[in-house]
Amino acid sequence: MVQVEFERLELKYLLDEGTAEKVRRAIVSFCAPDSHNGRLGRGYWISSLYFDSPRLAFFRANERADGDRFKLRARIYEVGGDVHLEIKRKRGDVVRKERVIVAERGWVDATHGFGQPLFDKPSQERVLASFAQLLAQYGAEPQVIVEYEREAYVSPRGEYARVSFDRRVSYFPTRDHSFERGRSGRRALSMGDGSRSSGVLLELKCETQIPPFMIDVIRRYELNRVGLSKYTRATRDLLTERRSSDPWLERISHG
């Protein structure tokens, strides 16, 4: 059974490939490879469609660093696969994620509350209802699709601890509930600030107490934490382009 509700810390760092390899070797004694690794390169593929209001309320809340903010997204791990509808809320440093899994057929109707979760559980029905309510409340529509390769490792011990390396991050604007349409306009996402290598995004995810092995990795390789939202960075890049010939950019640039 896929975990559908959890709270955790998410610590993010930008690495070059050499440092990423060192971190990987340092965690092998504490983590096992994710069962999905190897589907694509060392990892697996993720495609996330982000929803936002016409005036980009979710994006702007993140830009302001609001103390309580959230995102709505639909995520797939293979073309034609089940769709994961997620509410990702952040309060301070703590991330709370609620996920409901629906069949690919009819998933758009499910976002509006018309449909059933794949897992017949009251908690899943509640998350689906919450997702639909927030979508309607904000008039949220498809805005951006973000895709990347993720290589992940998880602690087999009792506490929740997960390490992931994200590579080849790309994005494209969309107005459709399609994970395919518009991909010809895909751009590479630049995650650095011009002074740092941005080849790999490392994410350390854990419960409210950071495991000793993660602390050791952070200290040993002198990792500097970054605040980086893929959706926010992609949207900011699109807004910066300010191309009047692109209706999507013209519309949101005046939000």
CA distances from 241 to 38, 62, 236 (A): 36, 20, 9
Range of the domain at 162: 5-252
Do 9 and 218 touch, CB atoms closer than 8 A?
A: no
Per-residue pLDDT of the chain (255 residues), as tens digits, is 455 566 889 999 999 999 999 999 999 999 999 989 988 888 999 999 999 999 999 999 999 989 899 999 999 999 999 999 999 999 888 899 999 999 999 999 999 989 899 988 889 999 999 999 999 999 999 999 999 999 999 998 777 899 999 999 999 999 999 998 888 889 999 887 654 446 899 999 998 889 999 999 999 999 999 989 999 999 999 998 755 445 555 555 445
User: 10 Å Cβ neighbour count for 21?
Assistant: 13
Query: What domain count does the chain have?
Result: 1
DSSP 184: G
CA distances from 55 to 59, 86, 141, 143, 200 (A): 9, 21, 10, 11, 31
Contacts of 245 (CB under 8 A, 6+ apart): none
CATH code of the domain covering residue 29: 3.20.100.30
